Every structure is written in C-alpha cells, then in structure tokens.
Amino acid sequence: MSDKLERAPLLPASGARAPQVCVAGNLTIDIILRSVSALPEWGQEVVGSNRSEVVAGQAGYLAFCASRLGLATSVVCPVGDDPSGERIRSELRQSGVDDPEVETISGAASPLTLAVVRPDGERAFISDFGCLDRFDVEFLTRHLPATRGLDAVALVGTLNLPRFDHAGAVELLGRARPSGALTLLDTGWDPGGWQPSTVAAVRALLAEVDLFIPNLDEAAALTGTAQPLEALRDLGAACAGTVVIKGGAEGSWALDSDGQLLHVPAQPVRVDNAVGAGDTYNAGFLAGYLPGRELPRAMAYATATAALYVSRHEERFPTLREVEAHLPSAHRDPNPAPTAG
C-alpha cells in the first residue's frame, strides 16, 4: 500500500497557483423534501416540510464545494435545453466554476432528482436521468480538457449515467495519469442493483484510479463485506492508488502507509440534511490532499468540510478558512492560504 500512496501525483505544499480540478459526472436539479419520517406505501401519502430546490448531482455538489474551497474547478456534463439547464449553467458560473464543457443537448430534458430526507438527516433518492443518457465515454473523451496542467480529474456519479461504459473508461483514465493528473472515482450507488457485470467493470477501472472514495454501502456492494478493514484490503488490491471509505456518522477509513487501519471520526454536528455530504467530503479531501499533505490530514479536511456542510441550511459550502478553523489542532495549517470569505 505504501508504494501506491507514493505514486499518487501531488502538488508542492508551497505551490502559488490554485490546484486545477476537472469534475466529470452528473449535474441535476434536486428537489429536497425534509422531515419525512418514513416512505409511503403504494397508494398512500406522507407529509414532509421545508422543501428546497437546488442545482446538484454528484458533480454539482463536488464542483460547488471545490470552488468555494479555492480549487480552480471546471465541469464536464450535458444539460437539457430547458430552464433547468439554463439555471444549472448560470449557477455554476456564479459560483466560479468553469462551464465551457457543459453541453446543452437540443430537445432533451435536464436531470431531476427528488431527495427525501428523514429527521435524522438520512436520505433516499428518486431520479429522472434525462439527458444524462448522452454522457458516455465518447462524450467524456470529446469534452475532457487536455489533462496536462490539470492536477485532478474527478469522475463521479458514473452509475447514474445510463450509457457510461466503465470498461471503456479504463484507457481514458490511463492517459490522464501519466500527464500528472490525479484520477478520482466515486461511482455513487447503482440503481441497477449491482449486477456482477457492473461490479466487475468498476473493479477493473480501479486499475487506473489514484483515489477511490466510495461510501460503506457501495464498498460492501463491490466486495461482499461491510467490514471497513476487509473492504479496504480488497479494493486496495484492485486500485492503483488510495482507497478511502466514507461511513457518514461513523467517520471514514483508509489504510495508512504501513497497511494499518486509519479511522477519522465524524465531527459531531446537528444535521440539517446529508444530501451531498459524500461529495463535499470528496471536495474537502482534494483541497487537503493536492498540496502534498498527508493522508490523515486530507481526511481531516474532508471530515471538517462535510460536517460544516451537513449542519447548515443556507450558505452550505464552507470556505477553506472555515474548514481550517474546524480542524483538530494537530492538522491546522499555521499559515493557511488566503481564501475568499
């Protein structure tokens, strides 16, 4: 495992420029309905409250958060030629995210997800993928900027892209890594039920992945075990780089350079809702990892970022300064880089 950690491309801690990150994956409109204690049976109805409608998707949450943390962020994704597509592109630009590779698909609808949130913050999703059926490996190849000069390519939400071929992406990520770009993968949950062919394709793609960050349920689906240490060892044997497993309120786990289990507890917060929590964790991890910081510190950045995000109802994405202030003292930067906000 130590060899894999050393191979991951890192930036010098003193680098003057902002790390360049390209996020490729699903952009959606999320309608979030909170305080739903249980899902209804067919023919029945339950009551929720405090609804909101936001630009989202795994790519959206990650990109918004990464930009807020000071990473120079761009996005690759299709949107529909409807008001939702216009809104997605507008909010990306307003948040400082570059959108030239967000393609508007004529005659297509933008993706929509209904997120139902329990009082404790746990969530469930119902999605209409809309124009995401246009996002295949050819689309990604056509729109992905030249990877030379990029510090990271984050491929996320791939199991919500109906025509995306994980096996076909192996060669593409294989070309990105020698250019110096860190490759990150977070497939999300498989609405198709984790068929053996899907599991095999995802595991094969890990051979060209520097950083794989599933949640514990996804890791269990890929390995057959819900024990973090066993899942890490299994996925680590397939992955070219580092595997981090997210466990929500249980924290996150990775293997350190000696192959020992590293556990970073979640920060105790009152959860508004957890929709997008894993994606903001990914953004915080990149912000902590790309400048050359050690794995435990990067996980601490990710944990603080996600904790701040899930505890807020408005202005949810934290700045790097806010994240630094919420780190355990051992991980605080004595000279943090200037950041907006």
For residue 259, being part of any structural domain is answered with yes
pLDDT, position 9 = 35
Domain that holds residue 69: 2-39+49-324
Q: Give me the chain's average pLDDT, please.
A: 90
pLDDT above 90 (res 5)? no
For residue 79, being part of any structural domain is answered with yes
For residue 337, being part of any structural domain is answered with no
pLDDT above 50 (res 107)? yes
166-216 pLDDT tens trace: 999 999 998 888 888 899 999 999 999 999 999 999 999 999 999 999 999
More confident of the two residues 338 and 50: 50
pLDDT, position 329 = 64
pLDDT, position 332 = 54
Smallest CA-to-CA distance from 183 within 142, 237, 228, 239 is with: 239
For residue 44, being part of any structural domain is answered with no
pLDDT above 90 (res 238)? yes
For residue 274, being part of any structural domain is answered with yes
pLDDT, position 272 = 82
Q: What is the CATH number of the domain that holds 230?
A: 3.40.1190.20
180-190 pLDDT tens trace: 889 999 999 99
Mean pLDDT of 237-265: 94
For residue 222, being part of any structural domain is answered with yes
SS3 for the chain, per residue? CHHHHHHCCCCCCCCCCCCEEEEECCCEEEEEEECCCCCCCCCCCCCCEEEEEEEEHHHHHHHHHHHHCCCEEEEEEEEECCHHHHHHHHHHHHCCCECCCEEEECCCCCCEEEEEECCCCCEEEEEECHHHHHCCHHHHHHHCCCCCCCCEEEEECHHHCCCCCHHHHHHHHHHHHHHCCEEEEECCCCCCCCCHHHHHHHHHHHHHCCEECCEHHHHHHHHCCCCHHHHHHHHHHHCCCEEEEECHHHCEEEECCCCCEEEECCCCCCCCCCCCHHHHHHHHHHHHHCCCCCHHHHHHHHHHHHHHHHCCCCCCCCCHHHHHHCCCHHHCCCCCCCCCC
pLDDT, position 203 = 97
pLDDT, position 92 = 97
For residue 128, being part of any structural domain is answered with yes
275-288 pLDDT tens trace: 899 999 999 999 99
To the question of pTM greater than 0.75 for the whole model, the response is: yes
For residue 195, being part of any structural domain is answered with yes
- Structurally, the chain folds into a number of domains equal to 1
